[in-house]
């Protein structure tokens, strides 16, 4: 009985200590942000010479990951391929902070940089500042904005495709990927409708989607989708991909 009472006292003390010790709050990152809001629509602050300062060799071929989320793909790709520069754009402030922290934790990389930006506001300016050839622009699993009234928030629209047509040199590549068929269809239709872009149809399925990713590494989202963990996926375990290249001449 004495042992039992003593045990109860110890347990109560442990419980009191646990309650007295404050838990470290984990900062949650918002999954969605309205790109049309006043705060999100403010142009990014780009200092003169920012691009040259961002990379060890700013003249290397550039890959731009639009909507880079927490930056995992950019960090992994930059570490594996020092012959290219990688620029991650993300509209959510907390996400871009997490991406920069991830890069710092890995020891940094002279060929990777993250920028808080709204692609629909800033992409044309950002690409105009590039000092090397813009080789690839990626749209990997952008927010699908499911509700019809929110479709105007989608990142790929006529104005953005026009900006890419003006900024990209012949043979530059645009890669689209989503696990939501309707969102993937929307992106593909915007690029199909523009005369400056030609769709790659060499290795596609019966619906015209690329069978394999042309990229070196999957994103965190793609890994989750491929293992069937994508809760909003149109087809569990399936990614809809499309590849376009900038034509040499168009009217």
Domain boundaries defined on the chain: 29-246
**Greatest C-alpha distance within the chain:** 92
* Phi, psi (degrees; rounded to nearest 5) at 5: -65, -45
Q: Structurally, what CATH architecture does the domain formed by 29-246 represent?
A: 3-Layer(aba) Sandwich (3.40)
pLDDT tens by residue, the chain, 251 residues: 444 544 554 445 544 444 444 554 545 655 567 776 666 679 888 999 999 999 999 999 999 999 999 999 999 999 999 999 999 999 999 999 999 999 999 888 899 999 999 999 999 999 999 999 999 999 999 999 877 776 888 999 999 999 999 999 999 999 999 999 999 999 999 999 999 999 999 999 999 999 999 998 999 999 999 999 988 899 999 999 999 999 986 54
Q: Of 143, 162, 179, 200, which residue is the catalytic one?
A: 143
Three-state secondary-structure class, residue 199? strand
As a whole number of angstroms, the distance between CA 43 and CA 102 comes to 25
pLDDT at 3: 45
Within 106-180, residue ranges assigned H as helices are: 119-128, 158-167
Give pLDDT, residue 107. Answer: 86
List CB contacts of 23: < 8 A, sequence separation 6 or more: none
Cβ neighbours of 224 (radius 10 Å) = 16
- Residue 148: per-residue pLDDT: 77
**Residue 61 in 3-state DSSP?**
coil
* Cα separation, 216 vs 232, whole angstroms: 25
Is 65 labeled as catalytic in the residue annotation?
Answer: no
pTM for the model: 0.85
Three-state DSSP class for 87? strand
Q: Is 168 helix (H, G, I), strand (E, B) or coil?
A: coil
**What is the 8-class DSSP label of residue 97?**
H
Measured between alpha carbons, how far is 85 from 55 in angstroms, rounded to an integer?
7
Q: Which of 224, 55, 248 is nearest to 64 (CA)?
A: 55
Q: Please tell me the predicted confidence (pLDDT) of residue 8.
A: 52
Write out the DSSP string of 174-191: EEEEES-HHHHHHHHHHH
For residues 62 and 132, the answer to whether their CB atoms sit within 8 Å is yes
d(CA 105, CA 99): 10
**Do 109 and 79 touch, CB atoms closer than 8 A?**
yes
């Amino acid at each position: 009985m004495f042992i039992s009472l003593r045990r109860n006292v110890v347990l109560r003390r442990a419980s009191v200590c646990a309650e007295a010790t404050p838990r470290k709050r984990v900062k949650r990152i918002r999954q969605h942000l309205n790109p049309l809001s006043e705060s999100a629509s403010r142009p990014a602050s780009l200092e003169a010479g920012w691009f040259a300062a961002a990379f060890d060799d700013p003249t290397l071929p550039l890959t731009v990951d639009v909507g880079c989320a927490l930056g995992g793909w950019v960090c992994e790709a930059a570490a594996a391929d020092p012959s290219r520069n990688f620029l991650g754009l993300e509209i959510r402030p907390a996400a871009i902070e997490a991406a920069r922290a991830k890069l710092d934790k890995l020891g940094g990389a002279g060929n990777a940089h993250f920028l808080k930006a709204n692609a629909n506001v800033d992409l044309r300016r950002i690409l105009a500042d590039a000092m090397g050839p813009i080789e690839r622009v990626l749209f990997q699993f952008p927010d699908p904005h499911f509700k019809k009234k929110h479709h105007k928030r989608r990142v790929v629209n006529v104005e953005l495709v026009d900006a890419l047509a003006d900024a990209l040199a012949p043979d530059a590549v645009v890669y689209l990927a989503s696990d939501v068929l309707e969102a993937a269809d929307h992106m593909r239709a915007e690029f199909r409708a523009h005369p400056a872009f030609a769709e790659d149809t060499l290795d596609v399925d019966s619906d015209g989607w690329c069978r394999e990713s042309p990229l070196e590494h999957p994103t965190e989202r793609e890994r989750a989708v491929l293992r069937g963990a994508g809760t909003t996926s149109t087809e569990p375990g399936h990614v809809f991909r499309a590849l376009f290249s900038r034509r040499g001449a168009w009217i």
